[in-house]
Chains A and B, each alone.
Chain A
Amino acid sequence: MIIEYHRPPTLAEAVQLLQRKHPPTRPLGGGTALNFKGEEPLAVVDLQALGLDAIERQGNRLQIGATSTLQQLMEFPDLPSALGDAIRRQATYNLRHQATVGGSLASADGRSPFGVAMLALDAQLTLMPEQRTVSYGDFLALREEFLTGHLITWIEINLQVELVTESVARTPADLPIVFAALARWPSGRLRFALGGWGKTPTLVLDGQGHEGLRLAAESAFSAAADEWASAAYRSQVAGVLAKRCWQRLASGI
C-alpha cells in the first residue's frame, strides 16, 4: 500500500528520497505496473517533474529519457520499425500513453516484447546516483540490487542496429508464448534474445556468426516450461523463430 507520495523537482532530491531505508521507497514512472494496493507500506517518488521525458538523437545514438512514454518512443521518427511493433505488442493504446520506458524496462518480465527487443538491441541504462552506465542485460541479472536506491535516468540505443522480431501466440495480441528478437550491427555483430517465458527476457547469443543461432535458441529454451507451454514446444519454436529472424535479416525483408 502506498503510504507516501513525493514529486521531487530535482534529481538530487529524488535520489535522496530513494535512498531512505524506511519506508521502502520506489520510483514511480507511469504507475501502470506498480502495485498500489500491495501488502507492504511503500513510498513512491514520482519522476514526472525531473525533465526526463525527452528523446534525442545524437548521431547514431538515441537517448531516451526514462520517463518518456512508450507512445512517445513509438512515435519517434527514426525508430526501428520492429521496435515500434514490439511496443505495440507490449501495451495497448492507453497503456502506451502512460507507461514509461524506464518503468517498462525496470518491470519487464519474460513475456515483455519490449524488454526482449531492448535486450537484443543491447540498450544501455544510465543509473543514478552513480551516473554509471550498465547494459540492460547486466541490469536484468541483478535487477533487485539495481533497483534499490537507484534510478534509471536515460536509456540509449544505437540506431544503426537492425532489428527483427518474430513471435507465436494464441492470438495476434495475446501475450507471446515465444517472442524472438534479433539485432545486427553494421560490424556484423548479432545479438539474439528470447521471451515468452521466465522472469526476465533471455539473452541467447551475442557474437558474429549466425550458424549456431537456431541451436542456441533451442537450447536456451530447453527447460522453458510453465503452465502456458511445454519446454519441448518452446524450444522447438524458439529455433524456428531464430531461423526466421535470420532469414529476414539476411534477405532484408
Chain B
Amino acid sequence: MQVTLLINQTQHTLEVSPHETLLSTLRRLGYFGAKVGCDTGECGVCAVLVDGKPLNSCRLLAAQVEGHVIETIESLGQHPHQGWKQTEGLHPLQQAFIESGAIQCGYCTPAQILAAYHLLQHQPNPSEAEVRDALSGVLCRCTGYLKPVEAVLRAAALLRGEAVPPLAFGDRELLSLPVILQSPSDADGTAQFPSSEARTQTKILPKVIFSPQVPQHQRIGKPEKKVDAVKLAQGKPAFAADFEMRGLLYAKVLRSPYAHARIKRIDTSRAKALPGVAAVLTWQDIPRVVYSTAGQSDPIPGPLDTFSLDNKVRFVGDRVAFVAAETPEIAEQALKLIEVEYEPLPAVLDPAEAMSPNAPRIHDEPEYVNFAESDPTRNLAAHIHIDIGDVEKGFAEADYIFEGDYEVPKVQQAHIEPHVALSYWDEDDRLVIRTSTQVPFHARRILAPVLGLPIKRIRVIKPRIGGGFGGKQEILIEDVAAHLTIATGRPVLYEMTREEEFIAARSRHPMRIHLKTGVKKDGTITANAMRVLSDTGAYGCHALTVTGNTGHKSMALYVGDGEYRQRPNIQFHADVVYTNHPPAGAYRGYGVPQGFWPVERHIEKIARALQMDSLEFRLKNALRAGELHPFSTAWSEGREPRPEVIQTCGLEECVRQGKAAIGWDQKFGNPQWHEVPGKPHLRRGIGVALVMQGTAIPYLDMGGASIKMNDDGSFNLLIGATDLGTGSDTVLAQMAAEVLGVELEDIIVYSSDTDFTPFDKGAYASSTTYISGAAVTKAAQQVAERIRLRAARMLNKAANGSGEVTPEMLTLREGRVFAPDGRSVSLAEVAHNALHHEDQEQIMGVASFYSPVSPPPFAAQFAEVAVDIETGQVTVDKLVMAVDSGVIVNPITASGQIEGGMTQALGYAVCEEMCYDEHGRARERDLRHYHIFQAHEMPELETIFVETYEPSHPFGVKAVAEIPMDGVAPAVGNAVLDACGVNIDDNPVTPEKVWRALQAQRQEQSA
C-alpha cells in the first residue's frame, strides 16, 4: 500500500506492506536515530515523536501514522559549526546529556532525549519523579539513570533561562562536590511504588578522596565530555546496523526446539525455492571446523567444541540452519519451510547429574580439542583445583568451622543493542565484517579458519557499540553473516532478535557453591575452602577462566590475620560441567560476582555468630597492601602463574567513607531505625560487602596505540581498544592530551579497525584504561619527545645564539612548547615545520603495553533495604559504593561505570534470573519477563572514589568497570538478614524466598 509520511517536515510517499512498522520504514529511509532493541515495545529505544508524543516506532504500523507529524532525533539539533555554515547548534537537552555524562553507549540516548523533550514541552519545571517517569519507557543498561535524570533537570533549568551551576571540579583537596538541583525527597523506606516521590538524589560528580601521592594534572582527573557524545546525542548512524548498502541481504537462523538431538535429515529445498531467498546453509554446506566462540587470546584457554553448524543440537536455541533473503520477512518465512527430522536425545539439565556415569554425553564429536583437564566423556568442560597453604591444617587450628551452601543464577547481559554484524566483500575481495564486538582482533583470528580465509583477507571494523558487558566478547554472530556472504557474494546483515538474545546468546555462569571456613575465637580466619559446580551450558566458552576467577578474586580477599597473612590456607575446587542449557560466557565481573555472593553472605553469618562487628571482622582478615596476592602463585587464567604483591589497597578508607555516607553507625544495631513508623509490616535493614577485582590479565593482555601529528597541532589517536560505551576512548584521549599538553578536542580518537588500528586484545578484564591507557601514554611520550627535539631546534634558531635550550628543558602545555624562560612555539608551528619546512618527518609514535601485574581495585558496597515481613517483598532504598580504583582519570565516566554497574548488579540481587522447564525451554524470552531496572524505580545511588596511586601504571590507575557488579547482591542479602533475621542463600532475593524463610523462622520460633 502507498502511504505519505511527514517526517521531520519532509513528505515521503512510499510503498509499505500493511505489516511494516514505522521503525522499519524510518530505518529504510535512513533515519537511523530510531534504534532496534526488542521489537516488542519493551525497551523503547525506537521511540520517535508522533504528534509530539514519544511512541515506540516498533509498535506502530507505518500506515497508522499517515496524517500525523513524525519527528525523529535527527530533527532536534546539529553540530554548531559546519564549515562556513553556522547552525543553531545542539538542543539544550542534547547539550545537557553530553555535559552531564548521561551518555554511555548512547544507544538509548535519542529515545531518552525525545521522551524528555516531550516532558519539557508540557512541564517546563518537572520534579525529579516526573523526569524519572518520563524516562521510564526507555531502558538503559549502562547509566543507572542517574546522569540522564540529572541531564534533563539541567536542561529544564537552562530552557527556563535559569543559571545552571557548571560542573566545577576543584583540585586535589578532600572533595565533596555533589551538584544537587533537586533536594532529595524524604526517604521513609516504604515499599510503595515510588511513582510520585522518587527518592533518588541526583548528583553528577562523585565524591573523590584524593591521594596526596597523585600529582597535579591538566587533563587527568577532569570530568571531560565524552569524545563520542556529540554524535550519539544526535543519533548519528554510528552503530553496526546503521549502514546502507546496495544489495543487502538479511540473515535469520533456524534454532533447535530440542535441548539435545541429532539432526537425522534436513531438507532445504522448499526454503530455497521461496522467491527472495538467496541462500540456505546447513551443516552439510560448510566446512566442519572446530573452534571456540570465546573471544580470548591465543591459545584459547578452553576446549574447542563448537562448529558454525553441526548435525547435532545441544540446547533449545542452538543453530540448525542459516538463511539469507531479500527481506527479514522472507528470511523468516524461509525458516518455516526448512524440514528437519530430529532424533531427540536424553538431555542433561541438572548440572549435578552432568558427570554421573549414566549421563548422556553432550560432546561426542571426534574433532573436540581438549584444554587442560576438560573431559567430554564426563561432560567436564574444565576442572580447577588450587591449594594455597594447607586448609586441613588450618581447619584443625580453628576454634569453629562454618559451612554453607549457596547458589547463584544464570543471568543475561541484556545490552540494549542486540548482537549485530554486517559482512561484505570489498573491492579487493577481502571480507569486511562490521560488527558490534568487544574483541575485533580476536574475532578476525578466530574467524579465519572457520571461514577458510587467511587472516590478512579479513577486516573487522568495530563501530560504536550499544553495550556489551561481556556478551560481545564472543564470536557469536559474525560467522553467520560471513558464511552467507561467502555463499551469495552479497552483503549480509545479521541482527539477533531479543528472543534470540535470551535463548541463544551468552549469560553469566550459574553456580552451586559450598564454603567451609575455619575461624579462631578472636575472629582470625585460619582456612577457607570453596567448592564450585559451574554450569557452562552446551559449550565451554569461558568455562575455565570465568570459574577460575570466581576463586581467584573472591577467595583472595580474606587471607586471615596474624601469621595467616603470610601463609594463608585457601582451597578452591571447581568442576565446570556441560549441560543442555544455553551456553554461559563472559559477563561483566567474569565469575567474581558468583564468588562474592557466597563469600560475603558466609562472612556475614560468621561475624554474627562470633558476635563481632561485621566490618571489623572483615577488615581484620582482609588482604592489605604489601601482601602477596594469594592466588598469584597458584593460577593465572590457565597460564603460568607468577607472584604478585598488592601495591595499593584503599579498602579501609572505603569502609570509612562508605559507612559515613550510609550512616552505618546510626543505623546498624539500632532497633528504632529498623522499625518504620506507621508501617508495622516493614523492617529496615542495612548490609555490606567488601569486594576486589583485577585489572587485566598479567603477562598476557596487550594493547597498542598509535598517534600521529597533524598540521594544526591536532593528533590522530588510533587504538585497537574497543569502547563499548564505557568512555574508554575519552579516557585514553585524556591521557594522550595530558602528555601532549593539548585540549581533549585536539585528540581525534578512532577505534577500532583491524586494518588501521594497532592490535588490542579488546574490552574485557577491566583492562582498557590500564593496559591500553599505558600504551597510549607511551606512544604520546614518543610523540612528545619528537616535538621537543624539533621545538628546541626552532627556538634555538629563532634565538640566534642566545638562550640555547635542550629538548629536556621544554614543557608541553596549552597547545605550545615552552622554554623555561617563557619563550614558546605552537604545536601547529612545530607540525608545519615537520611536515613542510625542514628535515621533514611525520611526527608519530606507536607503542604497546602489557603488564606483569593485575593490581586489584577494592570496594566497600553498602545497601539499605525495607522488607515486608508479611509478603517477603524487598525494596532496596539506597546503595552506596566506595571504591579504590587507583587514580580516577575521569570522574564522570568512572562514576557512570559504578552507577550503571550497581544497577545491573541490583538486578542480580533482586529480580534477574533465567530459568528453564524440564525440556530445557527458557522461561525468560523478553524484557517484560526478564525485568531490568527502569528509571522510575531506582534506589538512591551514591559513589565515592578513594584514590590510591598504583605504581605499575604511568598515571596510577586501576580498573573500575567490573567491580560494581560484585557487592550489591550480597550487601542486599546481608541487609535482608539485618532487617528480618532470615538468610537467603540463593540470589535473586525474591519475595517468595523471603516469605518462605520467614515462615520457617516463625515455625522454628514457635517450636
Q: Cα distance A236–B998 when bound, in Å?
A: 13
> Residue B988 at the A interface, CB < 8 A?
yes
Residues of A within 8 A of B872 (CB): 168, 233
Given contact pairs A31-B59, A97-B53, A172-B194, a sample of 8 additional A-B residue pairs in the complex whose CB atoms are under 8 Å apart:
A1-B19, A36-B61, A94-B137, A98-B55, A173-B937, A230-B992, A233-B996, A240-B870
Does B138 contact A5, Cβ atoms closer than 8 Å? Answer: no
CB nearest neighbor in A for B868: A168
Q: Cα distance A1–B61 when bound, in Å?
A: 12
User: What 6 A-B pairs are tightest by C-beta distance, nearest first?
Assistant: A94-B137, A92-B137, A172-B937, A170-B911, A2-B19, A173-B937
Q: Can you name 12 A-B residue pairings with CB atoms under 8 Å?
A: A1-B19, A2-B61, A5-B64, A30-B59, A89-B193, A95-B56, A171-B911, A172-B194, A173-B934, A173-B937, A227-B915, A233-B992
> Residue A17 at the B interface, CB < 8 A?
no
Residues of A within 8 A of B193 (CB): 85, 88-89, 167, 172-173
Contact of B19 among A36, A98, A169 (CB under 8 A): A36
Question: Which parts of A58-93 form the interface with B (CB within 8 Å)?
Answer: 71, 85, 88-89, 92-93
> Residue A32 at the B interface, CB < 8 A?
yes
Q: A92-B44, A168-B871, A174-B931 are in contact. Are A3 and B18 (CB under 8 A)?
A: yes
Interface size class of B (residues with CB under 8 A): 35 or more
Q: Which of A44, A170, A229, A233 has the most CB of B within 10 A?
A: A170
Question: Which parts of B39-89 form the interface with A (CB within 8 Å)?
Answer: 41, 44, 47, 53-56, 59-61, 63-64, 66
Contact of A31 among B64, B136, B911, B992 (CB under 8 A): B64
Question: Which parts of A80-131 form the interface with B (CB within 8 Å)?
Answer: 85, 88-89, 92-98
Distance between B257 CB and nearest chain A CB, rounded to angstroms = 15
> Residue A218 at the B interface, CB < 8 A?
no
Q: Cα distance A5–B872 when bound, in Å?
A: 48
Does A171 contact B195, Cβ atoms closer than 8 Å? Answer: no
Residues of B within 8 A of A85 (CB): 193, 195
> Residue B865 at the A interface, CB < 8 A?
no
Question: Which parts of A158-198 form the interface with B (CB within 8 Å)?
Answer: 167-175, 177-178
Q: A92-B44, A94-B47 are in contact. Are A240 and B936 (CB under 8 A)?
A: no
> Residue B510 at the A interface, CB < 8 A?
no
Does B19 contact A3, Cβ atoms closer than 8 Å? Answer: yes
Does A171 contact B995, Cβ atoms closer than 8 Å? Answer: no
Distance between A45 CB and nearest chain B CB, rounded to angstroms = 12
Residues of B within 8 A of A4 (CB): 18
> Residue B797 at the A interface, CB < 8 A?
no
Does B871 contact A237, Cβ atoms closer than 8 Å? Answer: yes
Question: Which parts of B915-971 form the interface with A (CB within 8 Å)?
Answer: 915, 917, 923, 928-929, 931, 933-934, 936-937
Does A169 contact B194, Cβ atoms closer than 8 Å? Answer: no
Residues of A within 8 A of B59 (CB): 30-32, 95, 98
Contact of A233 among B115, B195, B937, B995 (CB under 8 A): B995
Residues of B within 8 A of A148 (CB): none
> Residue B875 at the A interface, CB < 8 A?
yes
Contact of A237 among B21, B934, B995 (CB under 8 A): B995
Residues of A within 8 A of B47 (CB): 94
Q: Cα distance A32–B44 when bound, in Å?
A: 12
Q: Cα distance A241–B753 when bound, in Å?
A: 57
> Residue A37 at the B interface, CB < 8 A?
yes
Does B56 contact A98, Cβ atoms closer than 8 Å? Answer: yes
Distance between B980 CB and nearest chain A CB, rounded to angstroms = 15
Q: Cα distance A171–B194 when bound, in Å?
A: 11
Question: Which parts of B13-57 form the interface with A (CB within 8 Å)?
Answer: 18-19, 21, 41, 44, 47, 53-56
Contact of B992 among A30, A46, A229 (CB under 8 A): A229
Does A31 contact B194, Cβ atoms closer than 8 Å? Answer: no
Contact of B54 among A36, A93, A167, A170 (CB under 8 A): A93
Residues of A within 8 A of B911 (CB): 170-171, 174
> Residue A19 at the B interface, CB < 8 A?
no
Q: Cα distance A177–B990 when bound, in Å?
A: 11
> Residue B873 at the A interface, CB < 8 A?
yes
Q: A2-B18, A171-B931, A172-B193 are in contact. Are A32 and B137 (CB under 8 A)?
A: no
> Residue A28 at the B interface, CB < 8 A?
yes
Q: A2-B61, A93-B136, A98-B59 are in contact. Are A171 and B992 (CB under 8 A)?
A: no
Residues of B within 8 A of A219 (CB): none
Distance between B122 CB and nearest chain A CB, rounded to angstroms = 9
Q: Cα distance A4–B18 when bound, in Å?
A: 6
Residues of A within 8 A of B329 (CB): 1
